[in-house]
Protein backbone atom coordinates (compact mmCIF):
# COMPACT_ATOMS: atom_id res chain seq x y z
CA UNK A 1 0.00 0.00 0.00
CA UNK A 2 2.84 2.37 0.83
CA UNK A 3 4.55 1.76 -2.53
CA UNK A 4 1.25 2.30 -4.36
CA UNK A 5 0.74 5.60 -2.54
CA UNK A 6 4.21 6.78 -3.49
CA UNK A 7 3.69 5.88 -7.14
CA UNK A 8 0.45 7.86 -7.36
CA UNK A 9 1.48 10.89 -5.29
CA UNK A 10 4.45 13.18 -5.72
CA UNK A 11 5.58 15.77 -3.18
CA UNK A 12 7.41 18.61 -4.91
CA UNK A 13 9.47 21.14 -2.96
CA UNK A 14 9.96 24.48 -4.71
CA UNK A 15 13.19 25.88 -3.23
CA UNK A 16 13.31 29.61 -3.99
CA UNK A 17 16.35 31.50 -2.73
CA UNK A 18 19.12 33.94 -3.52
CA UNK A 19 22.34 32.80 -5.19
CA UNK A 20 25.72 34.08 -4.08
CA UNK A 21 27.54 35.43 -7.11
CA UNK A 22 30.32 33.13 -8.35
CA UNK A 23 30.68 31.53 -4.91
CA UNK A 24 30.34 27.76 -5.21
CA UNK A 25 31.39 26.99 -1.64
CA UNK A 26 28.99 29.56 -0.19
CA UNK A 27 26.07 28.35 -2.30
CA UNK A 28 26.65 24.68 -1.52
CA UNK A 29 26.63 25.52 2.17
CA UNK A 30 23.52 27.71 1.83
CA UNK A 31 21.42 25.27 -0.20
CA UNK A 32 22.51 22.35 1.94
CA UNK A 33 21.06 24.13 4.97
CA UNK A 34 17.83 24.93 3.10
CA UNK A 35 17.34 21.33 2.02
CA UNK A 36 17.98 20.05 5.53
CA UNK A 37 14.83 21.92 6.63
CA UNK A 38 12.65 19.61 4.53
CA UNK A 39 14.46 16.34 5.15
CA UNK A 40 12.12 13.44 4.39
CA UNK A 41 9.22 15.78 3.53
CA UNK A 42 9.43 15.70 -0.27
CA UNK A 43 9.97 13.35 -3.21
CA UNK A 44 11.67 15.96 -5.43
CA UNK A 45 13.28 19.25 -4.39
CA UNK A 46 13.76 21.74 -7.24
CA UNK A 47 16.51 24.38 -7.09
CA UNK A 48 17.04 27.41 -9.37
CA UNK A 49 19.23 27.45 -12.49
CA UNK A 50 23.02 27.52 -11.93
CA UNK A 51 22.33 27.39 -8.21
CA UNK A 52 25.99 26.97 -7.26
CA UNK A 53 27.41 30.02 -9.09
CA UNK A 54 24.70 32.27 -10.45
CA UNK A 55 24.06 32.84 -14.16
CA UNK A 56 27.62 33.86 -14.94
CA UNK A 57 29.45 33.72 -18.27
CA UNK A 58 32.75 33.21 -16.46
CA UNK A 59 32.70 29.58 -17.51
CA UNK A 60 36.43 28.80 -17.43
CA UNK A 61 36.72 29.82 -13.77
CA UNK A 62 33.39 28.45 -12.53
CA UNK A 63 32.73 25.24 -14.41
CA UNK A 64 32.70 21.98 -12.49
CA UNK A 65 33.44 18.53 -13.92
CA UNK A 66 30.76 15.79 -13.88
CA UNK A 67 32.32 14.10 -10.86
CA UNK A 68 33.22 17.36 -9.10
CA UNK A 69 32.09 18.88 -5.82
CA UNK A 70 28.72 20.17 -7.09
CA UNK A 71 27.38 16.75 -8.09
CA UNK A 72 29.01 15.15 -5.05
CA UNK A 73 27.18 17.58 -2.76
CA UNK A 74 23.85 16.99 -4.51
CA UNK A 75 24.25 13.20 -4.26
CA UNK A 76 25.06 13.52 -0.57
CA UNK A 77 21.98 15.69 0.08
CA UNK A 78 19.69 13.36 -1.89
CA UNK A 79 20.86 10.33 0.09
CA UNK A 80 20.83 12.11 3.45
CA UNK A 81 17.45 13.85 3.09
CA UNK A 82 15.77 11.08 1.07
CA UNK A 83 14.43 12.98 -1.91
CA UNK A 84 15.52 13.55 -5.49
CA UNK A 85 17.06 16.93 -6.30
CA UNK A 86 16.80 18.88 -9.55
CA UNK A 87 18.71 22.02 -10.53
CA UNK A 88 21.49 23.07 -12.91
CA UNK A 89 25.17 23.97 -12.79
CA UNK A 90 27.95 25.09 -15.12
CA UNK A 91 29.55 21.87 -16.35
CA UNK A 92 32.74 21.26 -18.29
CA UNK A 93 33.08 18.12 -20.40
CA UNK A 94 35.34 17.32 -23.35
CA UNK A 95 36.52 20.90 -23.55
CA UNK A 96 32.99 22.33 -23.77
CA UNK A 97 30.81 24.16 -21.25
CA UNK A 98 27.16 23.33 -20.64
CA UNK A 99 24.32 24.73 -18.56
CA UNK A 100 23.59 21.26 -17.26
CA UNK A 101 20.36 20.35 -15.50
CA UNK A 102 20.33 17.31 -13.25
CA UNK A 103 17.97 15.06 -11.37
CA UNK A 104 19.75 12.97 -8.75
CA UNK A 105 17.80 10.36 -6.79
CA UNK A 106 18.27 9.23 -3.17
CA UNK A 107 19.60 5.95 -4.56
CA UNK A 108 22.41 7.83 -6.32
CA UNK A 109 21.07 7.64 -9.88
CA UNK A 110 22.19 10.63 -11.97
CA UNK A 111 20.23 12.06 -14.91
CA UNK A 112 21.32 15.08 -16.95
CA UNK A 113 19.96 17.50 -19.54
CA UNK A 114 22.02 20.17 -21.30
CA UNK A 115 20.09 23.39 -21.91
CA UNK A 116 19.05 23.51 -25.55
CA UNK A 117 18.11 27.17 -26.00
CA UNK A 118 20.94 29.45 -24.94
CA UNK A 119 20.00 33.00 -23.95
CA UNK A 120 21.77 35.03 -26.63
CA UNK A 121 20.70 38.38 -25.12
CA UNK A 122 22.86 37.51 -22.12
CA UNK A 123 25.73 36.10 -24.18
CA UNK A 124 25.08 32.51 -23.12
CA UNK A 125 25.40 31.30 -26.72
CA UNK A 126 28.97 32.63 -26.85
CA UNK A 127 30.11 30.82 -23.71
CA UNK A 128 28.13 27.57 -23.61
CA UNK A 129 27.37 24.71 -25.98
CA UNK A 130 23.76 23.79 -26.62
CA UNK A 131 22.27 20.43 -25.79
CA UNK A 132 20.65 18.32 -28.49
CA UNK A 133 18.22 15.97 -26.75
CA UNK A 134 15.32 15.93 -24.34
CA UNK A 135 15.71 14.18 -21.03
CA UNK A 136 12.78 12.34 -19.47
CA UNK A 137 13.49 10.60 -16.17
CA UNK A 138 11.37 7.75 -14.73
CA UNK A 139 11.08 8.30 -10.99
CA UNK A 140 8.72 6.65 -8.50
CA UNK A 141 6.06 5.88 -11.10
CA UNK A 142 6.26 9.31 -12.76
CA UNK A 143 8.04 10.48 -15.90
CA UNK A 144 9.80 13.79 -15.34
CA UNK A 145 11.05 16.08 -18.12
CA UNK A 146 13.85 18.55 -17.34
CA UNK A 147 14.22 21.91 -19.08
CA UNK A 148 16.04 25.15 -18.27
CA UNK A 149 14.83 28.78 -18.23
CA UNK A 150 14.90 30.14 -21.82
CA UNK A 151 13.66 26.73 -23.07
CA UNK A 152 10.28 27.87 -21.76
CA UNK A 153 9.81 30.16 -24.76
CA UNK A 154 10.02 27.28 -27.26
CA UNK A 155 6.93 25.05 -27.06
CA UNK A 156 8.00 22.65 -29.81
CA UNK A 157 10.96 21.55 -27.68
CA UNK A 158 8.67 20.71 -24.76
CA UNK A 159 6.07 18.89 -26.87
CA UNK A 160 4.69 15.98 -24.84
CA UNK A 161 4.25 13.33 -27.53
CA UNK A 162 1.90 10.50 -26.48
CA UNK A 163 2.10 11.59 -22.83
CA UNK A 164 5.79 10.74 -22.60
CA UNK A 165 6.09 12.75 -19.39
CA UNK A 166 3.82 13.62 -16.48
CA UNK A 167 5.78 16.44 -14.85
CA UNK A 168 7.71 19.17 -16.67
CA UNK A 169 10.27 21.08 -14.60
CA UNK A 170 11.74 24.45 -15.57
CA UNK A 171 14.83 25.42 -13.59
CA UNK A 172 15.36 29.16 -13.99
CA UNK A 173 17.08 32.47 -13.41
CA UNK A 174 14.19 34.47 -14.90
CA UNK A 175 14.64 38.26 -14.54
CA UNK A 176 11.98 40.40 -12.86
CA UNK A 177 11.66 42.54 -16.01
CA UNK A 178 10.03 39.60 -17.84
CA UNK A 179 7.87 38.26 -15.01
CA UNK A 180 4.68 38.43 -17.09
CA UNK A 181 6.10 36.08 -19.73
CA UNK A 182 7.04 33.61 -16.97
CA UNK A 183 3.54 33.69 -15.53
CA UNK A 184 1.86 33.26 -18.92
CA UNK A 185 4.10 30.63 -20.50
CA UNK A 186 4.26 28.19 -17.57
CA UNK A 187 0.49 27.51 -17.47
CA UNK A 188 0.44 27.43 -21.28
CA UNK A 189 3.00 24.61 -21.24
CA UNK A 190 0.87 22.77 -18.66
CA UNK A 191 -2.35 23.01 -20.67
CA UNK A 192 -0.91 22.25 -24.11
CA UNK A 193 1.08 19.27 -22.82
CA UNK A 194 -1.55 17.96 -20.39
CA UNK A 195 1.02 17.64 -17.62
CA UNK A 196 1.98 19.22 -14.32
CA UNK A 197 4.48 22.06 -14.78
CA UNK A 198 6.84 23.34 -12.09
CA UNK A 199 8.97 26.47 -12.52
CA UNK A 200 11.52 27.43 -9.84
CA UNK A 201 13.20 30.83 -9.99
CA UNK A 202 15.76 32.64 -7.84
CA UNK A 203 15.46 35.92 -5.91
CA UNK A 204 17.91 38.78 -5.32
CA UNK A 205 20.25 40.64 -7.67
CA UNK A 206 23.10 38.97 -9.55
CA UNK A 207 26.63 40.21 -10.16
CA UNK A 208 25.54 41.97 -13.34
CA UNK A 209 22.94 44.02 -11.48
CA UNK A 210 19.99 41.98 -12.84
CA UNK A 211 17.15 41.68 -10.31
CA UNK A 212 15.06 38.52 -9.84
CA UNK A 213 11.82 38.37 -7.89
CA UNK A 214 11.16 34.66 -7.64
CA UNK A 215 7.53 33.91 -8.36
CA UNK A 216 8.14 30.15 -8.47
CA UNK A 217 5.01 28.33 -9.62
CA UNK A 218 3.40 24.91 -9.91
CA UNK A 219 0.47 24.28 -12.28
CA UNK A 220 -1.84 21.34 -12.85
CA UNK A 221 -2.70 20.14 -16.39
CA UNK A 222 -5.69 22.50 -16.56
CA UNK A 223 -3.49 25.52 -15.85
CA UNK A 224 -4.60 25.97 -12.24
CA UNK A 225 -1.88 27.28 -9.92
CA UNK A 226 -1.14 24.90 -7.05
CA UNK A 227 1.75 26.96 -5.67
CA UNK A 228 2.65 30.60 -6.21
CA UNK A 229 5.62 31.90 -4.23
CA UNK A 230 6.22 35.59 -3.58
CA UNK A 231 9.53 37.38 -3.95
CA UNK A 232 10.94 36.16 -0.62
CA UNK A 233 13.19 33.24 0.17
CA UNK A 234 10.81 30.35 0.70
CA UNK A 235 10.30 26.62 0.36
CA UNK A 236 6.84 25.27 -0.42
CA UNK A 237 6.03 21.56 -0.64
CA UNK A 238 3.00 20.59 -2.75
CA UNK A 239 1.51 17.16 -3.46
CA UNK A 240 0.34 16.22 -6.95
CA UNK A 241 -1.68 13.12 -7.87
CA UNK A 242 -1.12 10.84 -10.85
CA UNK A 243 -4.60 9.30 -10.76
CA UNK A 244 -6.20 12.67 -11.44
CA UNK A 245 -3.80 13.32 -14.31
CA UNK A 246 -4.51 9.93 -15.90
CA UNK A 247 -8.26 10.46 -15.49
CA UNK A 248 -8.11 13.88 -17.17
CA UNK A 249 -6.09 12.50 -20.09
CA UNK A 250 -8.69 9.73 -20.52
CA UNK A 251 -11.75 11.99 -20.33
CA UNK A 252 -10.26 14.76 -22.48
CA UNK A 253 -7.82 13.00 -24.85
CA UNK A 254 -6.69 16.03 -26.83
CA UNK A 255 -3.20 14.50 -26.95
CA UNK A 256 -4.49 11.95 -29.48
CA UNK A 257 -5.08 14.75 -32.02
CA UNK A 258 -1.61 16.28 -31.76
CA UNK A 259 0.36 16.87 -34.97
CA UNK A 260 3.16 14.48 -35.80
CA UNK A 261 6.58 15.96 -36.47
CA UNK A 262 10.27 15.27 -35.99
CA UNK A 263 12.62 17.72 -34.27
CA UNK A 264 16.02 18.20 -35.90
CA UNK A 265 18.21 19.90 -33.27
Residues classed as catalytic = 49, 115, 149
User: Residues near 28 by Cβ (< 8 Å), separated by ≥ 6?
Assistant: 52, 69, 70, 73
Residue 158: exposure state from Cβ atoms within 10 A (0-12, 13-18, ≥19)? buried
User: Residues near 14 by Cβ (< 8 Å), separated by ≥ 6?
Assistant: 46, 198, 200, 216, 217, 218, 227, 229, 234, 235, 236, 237, 238
Residue 135: exposure state from Cβ atoms within 10 A (0-12, 13-18, ≥19)? middle
Q: Which residues of 38-69 are buried (b: 16+ CB within 10 A; e: fewer)?
A: beeebbbbbbbbbbbbbbbeebeebbbeeeee
Other beta carbons within 10 angstroms of residue 33's beta carbon come to 9
- In angstroms, the CA 16 to CA 133 distance is 27
- In angstroms, the CA 159 to CA 38 distance is 32
Amino acid sequence: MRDFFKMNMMRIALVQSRILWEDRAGNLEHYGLLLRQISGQADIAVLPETFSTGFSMNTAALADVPDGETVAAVKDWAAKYQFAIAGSFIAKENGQYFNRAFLVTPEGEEHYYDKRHLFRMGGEDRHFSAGSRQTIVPYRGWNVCLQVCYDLRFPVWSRNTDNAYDLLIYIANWPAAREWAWRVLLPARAMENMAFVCGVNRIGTDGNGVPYNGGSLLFDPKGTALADLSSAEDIVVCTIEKDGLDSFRTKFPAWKDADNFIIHP
